[in-house]
Amino acid sequence: MEVVGSALEEVLSKAVVQRNNTVGVFAAAKVLNVDPDNMLCLLAADEEDDHDVALQIHFPLIQAFCCENDINILRVGNMGRLEAIQGGPGTDESGADLHCVLVNNGDFLSFSEGKS
């Protein structure tokens, strides 16, 4: 699992630098509606978020849309690490929440392309 975490960290760091990420549940929903291709969806929640009714409604809807459109989904349980990579406590610089992060992975090698 450490290898997966390191790879995800690298992809997120590159996406932040290249501005290939969309942060926030509502912003992600807008982007997914317009351009669902080449996306990776991260859904992040800690134990204290288990009682957040809005997240309990939004997450299944986003997951269903992603499954319907063949978009890869990763569940992230360490909000603290995600905050550090994105550059702020609980929000990015624009104030959007980090519970849903989309990465436009069209510029990154997929696992199948990276292997010969």
> Mind listing the domains of the chain with CATH numbers?
2-106 (3.30.1330.30)
User: Structure pTM?
Assistant: 0.77
Element at 43 (helix H, strand E): strand 39-44
pLDDT in tens, 57-91: 989 999 999 999 999 999 888 888 888 888 755 54
Mean pLDDT, rounded, of the chain: 80
**Nearest-angstrom CA–CA distance, 44 and 36:** 19
Residue 84 CB neighbour total at 10 angstroms: 12
